[in-house]
């Protein structure tokens, strides 16, 4: 068994224009002071990181690693959640997702996708230059607007959508393979890869690609009412990243899983700060340890109620308490009698 690394923190929800959140050095000081050991970097945020430079300059990557090492920090993974989303965009979301890309490609879905694909290729090379083994991203979506089949979906619509999704991602996955890095798709509503079944549909279409893997975040499964512990049993070999995020689902007589278009505060399913929701983290960390997950436990803070800085301060000790330092020997080794084949045969009555 292996011990999970951590605690780590995803910086996307904390980066901003005011100090200490507006540069990598100052935000690193802040998270180190809270007790974090790793940071997951949103690669699209130029205030913190230059993705293209990291893809082309080993010197830059070494400088970033050195800056963080001086503060007792490591990079857990790079993230291309926003760029990955733009690999596959349904036209219904074109205007909204333009904001994820540079102004030069706004209103031009083809150019926007080409930009996103190049960003993913940069991320593969940058991850390799940084010595990282996994990368966090989204899959994008063509079929999501049709997830509830009314009116009835035309025959083959979902299959065609996943065929196209796989066609777009296969060359990207090949680049990650060339660089020795796994792509860990966050299994997430709004993405075509939003549960185990859809991940399997995609995996089959990319030929069970070794670099097509999973970012495990139990909060999204609570909101779907999916068994997030059984998910680990089924897919543990493909889980390469882990977001530690809490959630709760409290249905009522007025709304349930779909939320009634309400704000996050009022939805029956909502994200919470660690320890304030319903996720069984003791069970999750136990299964992760039993299945040899040796990646990072990374806080992703998203809470409808609590202040983010409070959530971040509470997150490091929460994760640290849940990390299981795995045992190197069985608890009853002291009573072991050693190997004795003759004794074994006698005990079975076959000697």
User: What is the domain count for the chain?
Assistant: 1
| Helical residues (DSSP H) of 34-108, grouped into ranges | 51-56, 58-69, 81-85, 94-97
- Residue-level pLDDT at 345: 87
- Residue-level pLDDT at 341: 86
Give the domain extent around 84: 5-347
Residue 261's CATH number: 3.20.20.150
Neighbours of 306 (CB within 10 A): 15
- Residue-level pLDDT at 337: 66
Q: Where are the beta strands (DSSP E) in the chain?
A: 5-10, 38-42, 74-80, 134-137, 182-186, 212-216, 239-244, 246-249, 269-272, 296-299
Bridging pattern class, strands 74-80 and 246-249: unpaired
CA atoms of 297 and 316, how far apart (whole Å): 10
Query: Is the bond preceding residue 227 a cis peptide, omega within 30 degrees?
Result: no
CA atoms of 205 and 210, how far apart (whole Å): 12
- Residue-level pLDDT at 286: 97
Neighbours of 108 (CB within 10 A): 14
- Residue-level pLDDT at 99: 96
The three-state secondary structure class of 267 is coil
- Residue-level pLDDT at 150: 94
Phi, psi of 289 (to 5 degrees): -65, -45
Averaged over successive runs of 10 residues, the pLDDT of the chain (351 residues) comes to: 95 97 98 98 98 98 98 98 98 96 98 98 98 98 96 97 98 98 98 98 98 98 98 98 98 97 97 98 97 97 97 98 85 66 87 65
The three-state secondary structure class of 248 is strand
- Residue-level pLDDT at 278: 98
């Amino acid at each position: 068994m292996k011990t999970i690394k951590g605690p780590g923190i995803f910086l996307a929800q904390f980066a901003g224009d005011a100090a200490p959140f507006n540069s990598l050095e100052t935000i690193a000081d802040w998270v180190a002071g809270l007790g974090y050991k790793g940071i997951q970097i949103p690669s699209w945020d130029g205030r913190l990181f230059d993705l293209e430079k990291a893809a082309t300059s080993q010197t830059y990557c070494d400088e970033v690693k050195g800056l963080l090492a001086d503060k007792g920090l490591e990079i857990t993974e790079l993230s291309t959640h926003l760029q990955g989303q733009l690999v596959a965009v349904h036209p219904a979301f074109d205007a909204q997702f333009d904001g994820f890309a540079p102004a030069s490609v706004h209103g031009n879905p083809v150019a926007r996708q080409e930009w996103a694909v190049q960003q993913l290729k940069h991320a593969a090379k940058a991850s390799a230059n940084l010595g990282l083994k996994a990368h966090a991203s989204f899959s994008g979506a063509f079929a999501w607007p049709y997830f509830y089949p009314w009116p009835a979906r035309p025959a083959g619509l979902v299959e065609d959508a996943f065929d196209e999704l796989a066609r777009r991602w296969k060359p990207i996955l090949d680049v990650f393979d060339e660089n020795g890095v796994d792509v860990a798709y966050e299994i997430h509503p709004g993405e075509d890869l939003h549960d185990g079944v859809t991940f399997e549909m995609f995996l089959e279409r990319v030929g069970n690609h070794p670099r097509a893997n999973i970012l495990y975040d139990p909060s999204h499964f609570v909101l779907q009412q999916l068994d997030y512990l059984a998910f680990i049993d089924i897919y543990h070999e493909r889980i390469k990243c882990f977001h530690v995020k809490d959630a709760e689902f409290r249905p009522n007589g007025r709304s349930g899983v779909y939320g009634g278009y309400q704000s996050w505060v009022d939805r029956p399913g909502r994200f919470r700060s660690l320890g304030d929701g319903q996720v069984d983290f003791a069970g999750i960390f136990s299964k992760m340890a039993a299945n040899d997950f040796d990646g990072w436990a990374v806080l992703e803070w998203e809470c409808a109620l609590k202040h983010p800085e409070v959530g971040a301060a509470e997150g490091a000790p929460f994760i640290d308490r849940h990390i299981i330092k795995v045992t190197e020997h069985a608890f009853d080794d002291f009573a072991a009698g050693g190997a004795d084949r003759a004794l074994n045969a006698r005990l079975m009555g076959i000697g």
